[in-house]
Structure 1
């Protein structure tokens, strides 16, 4: 029996439950979890962000980049991404067994996003029902969906963002827009669409924001039967009782990103699953260290704390004596064109004495102090860039034109491809970026997970449909 007022929707020609598995990139969602979610009658989502592919024996093919140039490594990355995406969709479709639906998820800001999406759909459009896409402004999403005859579900974090996309692109392909995903920028895991006008420290109630989105959709003539998918902070349907069957909001569906991580079919390593059970409220940090330039939410592991500390060991400088920059920095740098405030020189000397002997320039006319080993890792990771983003602040890579952002590489950030591949394939969670939504602390509180219980995806979907 399903929770109050929750009824199946027709999607891709068949009835499915309006519960969607969130697509988590770089192998945190794969065919096993998404296929099982569809088999349970929902909408499973294969991540098409650097998905794994397999050799003849069924082992994961390591994604290695031995080419000399970033451009060549980027081309290799795109090949890996297309091959992996195709393989994951085919396997998910097989597991689904004709039930539910399979979507694929891409980040518009990933390197070669359009080429990857087109490459996957050219081989799998008959198996894929829809494409969810966010992390940027994916204007070309509707055209790609039309070309391959699949539905599209744009991910937005405000009515304003949807309005811009609709006017410029989506209004030309309205029939294939199956839903609009509202991703709460304060609560969702991974990359968030927080705008410069919004305060990261002041979360806003999602209800009025979603109501504004629906009002905008109505104004553009979009039927109330086109669902808005609430994503970010969704744990139990009982928490959203007032949203379901609410004429003010129209049709509503719900996306679950964090809960599917802790299932039997979830591909993440056991260490990551175990860590999810111990989180407390506040353990997930909304931060801006990502090389995408977007805010994102992740667990405050040792890795994330080291990035926080690195940025705190930072002082501004001028190339000439000016204003309060009246003394020359005499630790961590070579040359005399680093003028700083006297108080900042004292701080720098203290960091230097504590072992943070290397000063690295940032694009914002500051220097950060790091240990020699940390400096070596940063430089090594920057040199090994494989172009996984359309624009990367960490390495100054850009995936088109002259292949550079034209800005100094930023040592306050990190190689996101490296850390996400590492955590997904078994490296220690404390030493990597561990994406999670802000409701992840509920694993510890929810009796469903007591005594170390890990549900199958089918058991989780059945639990969700009761409202719990």
Structure 2
């Protein structure tokens, strides 16, 4: 096998590995089978430590149930599930890797209980985990935690500005363990993305100048060019990144593959999800802001997301007293008379109510959205059943510290992300759940490598990537 453009191994965790990283994907979408096989192929496999699966003595997945009465109790149960699951996944991945490559774990800093989960997993897997990738927020404590357990850390950022803030506040104190910096393209990556308020979600920017700016900042801060920047988001094949490899402007570069490993023999996602990936067309992945994290995220634009779009469309602003253009009282969907709206919005509200969306739910932004009785009951149940899977949840108003409340009204325009990700990962309906994917997912249908329904093993995929294709 000829390696594309003389791609060279990098030294990571004391051994040489290919500069190819498996992206860690959410709840049970990256597990021991995929990450262990990726490491065994000589790369860096990544176990998702976000509420990973654990197993009973017979090998069956342990259902994550929450019978406790309070959110705080359910949150403690969630943390224990998360630690138990991630530890089991790491142990199995390490065994599969057979001493080759390396095993990382991935966590979202906005995950509920992220710090105790990370500490619990690293304590129980000493010597197995080489590094921790972490994004979705500003994980200042990541370096401190890595130092406690003597593991590498790889912060995930979407701009040089974000890296500078992390470096100056914390990372410069533990510079020797920062193995790489992951640049995650906020317009192309699947899952949660780091778009800032200054960036337009509808206008993607070329990643090259952004990554060069990141390297420039790293150089200013004294970070050696040998510390790789890992390009993540939109990476399909290395031929398309020819100008990035051995480029003195960028320094050392590695590549993260999040979407392609979904369609492998070892990928743990259900077969129906794998089959659906082969049908995706350009534009079928939507960058949206319905996530209860408050971050933008990318997922397949399926009926689940379309229902959330429709729900937000059925929305009107209101005032508690007559003011400005709010001159008429809302007389459908609400109780009481403290909802003043425009005459045009009153007409829309009456139309929605007549069409079966007869209940209006308040949002934190002084609006109401109109939903069916069935939707209302599901929303309220999901909010009541909250198990605190996020550090801050817009959907349920949960916060994982202090007084355990964000202090804002729960937002019915969002959804319970733990519920839907657990459901789709374990065989739930593909149309009724959130299906994360990167924006390059349409290429499964176009790439001849996958023709005739071919599904590669992870080893075959890594070998294919190494040739440049």
TM interval, shorter chain, is over 0.9
The offset of 1:125, in angstroms, is: 2.4
Structure 1 counterpart of 2:300: 299
Structure 1 counterpart of 2:390: 389
The offset of 1:241, in angstroms, is: 0.6
CA distance in 2, matches of 1:125, 1:219: 34
- Equivalence map 1:273-422=2 (5 Å): 273-422=274-423
CA distance in 2, matches of 1:280, 1:125: 43
CA distance in 2, matches of 1:68, 1:140: 31
Structure 2 counterpart of 1:197: 198
- Equivalence map 1:2-401=2 (5 Å): 2-401=3-402
CA distance in 1, matches of 2:244, 2:126: 33
The offset of 1:207, in angstroms, is: 0.1
Q: Indicate the SS of the match to 2:134.
A: strand
Deviations, residues 210-268 of structure 1 (Å, cap 9, x unaligned): 00000000111111110000000000111101000101000000000000000000000
The offset of 1:460, in angstroms, is: 0.4
CA distance in 2, matches of 1:4, 1:312: 50
Q: Indicate the SS of the match to 2:287.
A: strand
CA distance in 1, matches of 2:65, 2:193: 29
Q: Indicate the SS of the match to 2:244.
A: coil
CA distance in 2, matches of 1:444, 1:431: 23
The offset of 1:67, in angstroms, is: 0.0
Q: Indicate the SS of the match to 1:449.
A: helix
Give the conservation status (yes or no) of the 8 Å contact 1:358–1:369.
yes
Deviations, residues 397-434 of structure 1 (Å, cap 9, x unaligned): 00001100010000000000000000000001111000
Deviations, residues 265-285 of structure 1 (Å, cap 9, x unaligned): 000001110110000000000
The TM-score with structure 2 as length reference comes to 0.99
Give the conservation status (yes or no) of the 8 Å contact 1:391–1:399.
yes
CA distance in 1, matches of 2:351, 2:306: 20
The offset of 1:356, in angstroms, is: 0.6
CA distance in 2, matches of 1:308, 1:267: 29
* Over 3 Å off, 4+ runs: none
The TM-score with structure 1 as length reference comes to 1.00
CA distance in 1, matches of 2:221, 2:323: 54
Give the conservation status (yes or no) of the 8 Å contact 1:391–1:405.
yes
The offset of 1:5, in angstroms, is: 3.5
Q: Say how many residue pairs are matched.
A: 468
The offset of 1:2, in angstroms, is: 1.0
CA distance in 2, matches of 1:141, 1:423: 29
The offset of 1:25, in angstroms, is: 1.3
Give the conservation status (yes or no) of the 8 Å contact 1:5–1:244.
no
Q: Indicate the SS of the match to 1:242.
A: helix
CA distance in 1, matches of 2:136, 2:7: 29
- Structure 1 residues without counterparts, runs of 5 or longer: none
